[in-house]
Structure 1
């Protein structure tokens, strides 16, 4: 990495349907970044806009409006695993390029179908596995890992249905979601690469490549093959590890250590900054947790709860 003039980059963690948190975080970012820098910033949303919180519809309205309200900014909207599942239910993901059917991906996980109560109503026959899981009706009430009650499905999708005015699991959602929102979900990218991103290190400000992906990249698999699959939105895969993995995608693959690459993600329900590995998901979709963002090059953390003066 070579030193060069810094550009402002904001990476925003998982919003999960909380419009008031998103609005407050955005106001705080505007307040703490110089106006010219903010107006020309690269804004990367790290995914998971829906589920858990009550206002998915309003969150997507807000995101859709940004390119019109801030035309000089560059906006990147990554797909999270929740957004992918929401899009899969709506039919807003591409068909497999090899001509295979989504139902072929059900088999690997069919032992979970009864417990997770997979969706079996209108359109399910041609639906990707994650769409069926997202709109399903889980048969257990308590998520022992998170210590919270499930909201409708394994994805906590009930609040998203309600935000569009329909009951959880209802096929009416297929007609209730506006076309503008379907297009937004269709256009989400699974990975974003950006060159000439600056970051402060113990050796000074360095400039290099940044890769943003919701959960991370797998160690032990060739990075370029992973990137190629993610850019192509390979929907043959019933569970995309880069969007939904945990331990397998936590660290930076060794391939990316020379030249050093920044890898930024959300997803993990933690705020974790370790060298060039940035995980920005302090909220985790929980009501009482803040939504956070990180500003590069200085690694400044901004939260919706920060007591900053609003403009």
Structure 2
């Protein structure tokens, strides 16, 4: 795979969900399949959900944190997933609301779910964001019929993340012992990424246009700029950020972006979906048996952790 027209290479990597072997294998396959100079200067965008489900969240974060020093000519964007926001809220990595309000003000909108989701009530809960309490909670429903497996601790399946750091699910000691470099990583996650002049090879030829990367996408019928503004500002007074947490209501291309010829990339949706300039890259869906995929632009090339290549 080699670029002959000098368009920058952008690699979008889907949801890792605590599987360090998957991301290491995928990274190796990317190195093997992309021209070396292009790979080492590539723009790498991780689409969020680094934690939960799988057993290796701590090792996944160590791996991601190491990338800028190992590949200094690359640029890296780490988008926040809904699981990551819950994680960040629990360990105190979310910035307080800019308007001076308390995180406890986020609880009321979902108060009816508190009992069944078993929101966290341990040390420090008094001013914890709603998503942190949900993430560290004790979900009363124990089996996920959609995925055919048991829930691990909370509605977010966060039990495996606690275990990867050596703590039982919901332990307040986890907050006190949480590594400072991991806290910084979670605190610095982007909620949206925007970039001009990204190229994509389409049936009609090469298109170069604006790229927007957002976890889920935008709600149609609501003002696009207003939604983007709250993401740029990382507005933590919002109890549930729809563009990050919702699925079907934010799956499709926003009607305003359809008119502007914009590449819109997301993870989150549990599928690989390519429709024009709307790209969804999340084959893994948090399941151990599913592959971890990446999309390489401008080539529109899908590379997976499970791919095998013959050495020439």
Fold shared per TM-score above 0.5: yes
Give the whole-Å Cα distance in 2 for the aligned partners of 1:145 and 1:104. 31
Confirm whether residue 94 of structure 1 aligns to residue 126 of structure 2.
no
TM-score by length of 2: 0.96
Confirm whether residue 81 of structure 1 aligns to residue 82 of structure 2.
yes
Residue 309 of structure 1, CA deviation: 5.0
Give the whole-Å Cα distance in 2 for the aligned partners of 1:186 and 1:102. 16
The residue matched to 1:44 in structure 2 has which SS?
Answer: strand
Name the residue aligned to 2:237.
236
Give the whole-Å Cα distance in 2 for the aligned partners of 1:120 and 1:224. 36
Name the residue aligned to 1:216.
217
Give the whole-Å Cα distance in 2 for the aligned partners of 1:245 and 1:165. 31
Residue 169 of structure 1, CA deviation: 0.5
Change (3 A) 1:298 1:103: same
Q: Please list the CA deviations of residues 233-252 of structure 1 after superposition, one character each: whole Å capped at 9, or x if unmatched.
A: 11111000011111121111
| Count of residue pairs brought into register by the alignment | 308
CA-based RMSD: 1.2
Residue 281 of structure 1, CA deviation: 0.4
Q: Show structure 1 runs of 5+ residues with no match.
A: none
Give the whole-Å Cα distance in 1 for the aligned partners of 2:30 and 2:310. 10
Give the whole-Å Cα distance in 1 for the aligned partners of 2:73 and 2:23. 20
Name the residue aligned to 2:190.
189
Change (3 A) 1:139 1:200: same
Give the whole-Å Cα distance in 2 for the aligned partners of 1:36 and 1:295. 15
Give the whole-Å Cα distance in 2 for the aligned partners of 1:309 and 1:42. 26
Q: Which has the higher contact order (CA 8 A, sep 6+)?
A: 1
Q: Is the 8 A contact 1:28 1:310 kept in 2?
A: no
Give the whole-Å Cα distance in 1 for the aligned partners of 2:263 and 2:149. 33
Give the whole-Å Cα distance in 2 for the aligned partners of 1:204 and 1:120. 56
Q: Show structure 2 runs of 5+ residues with no match.
A: none
Change (3 A) 1:168 1:207: same
Q: Is the 8 A contact 1:27 1:310 kept in 2?
A: no
The structure 1 segments of at least 4 consecutive aligned residues displaced by more than 6 Å after TM superposition are none
Name the residue aligned to 1:155.
156
Name the residue aligned to 1:25.
26
Residue 310 of structure 1, CA deviation: 7.7
Give the whole-Å Cα distance in 2 for the aligned partners of 1:12 and 1:82. 16
Give the whole-Å Cα distance in 1 for the aligned partners of 2:280 and 2:311. 26
Residue 5 of structure 1, CA deviation: 3.9
Q: Please list the CA deviations of residues 166-197 of structure 1 after superposition, one character each: whole Å capped at 9, or x if unmatched.
A: 10000111122210000000000000001110
Q: Is the 8 A contact 1:122 1:171 kept in 2?
A: yes
The residue matched to 1:294 in structure 2 has which SS?
Answer: strand
Residue 30 of structure 1, CA deviation: 0.4
Give the whole-Å Cα distance in 2 for the aligned partners of 1:214 and 1:69. 26
Give the whole-Å Cα distance in 1 for the aligned partners of 2:113 and 2:251. 25
Give the whole-Å Cα distance in 2 for the aligned partners of 1:220 and 1:110. 27
Aligned residue runs from structure 1 range 128-207, under 5 A = 128-207=129-208
Give the whole-Å Cα distance in 1 for the aligned partners of 2:278 and 2:311. 30
Give the whole-Å Cα distance in 2 for the aligned partners of 1:18 and 1:78. 17
The residue matched to 1:278 in structure 2 has which SS?
Answer: strand
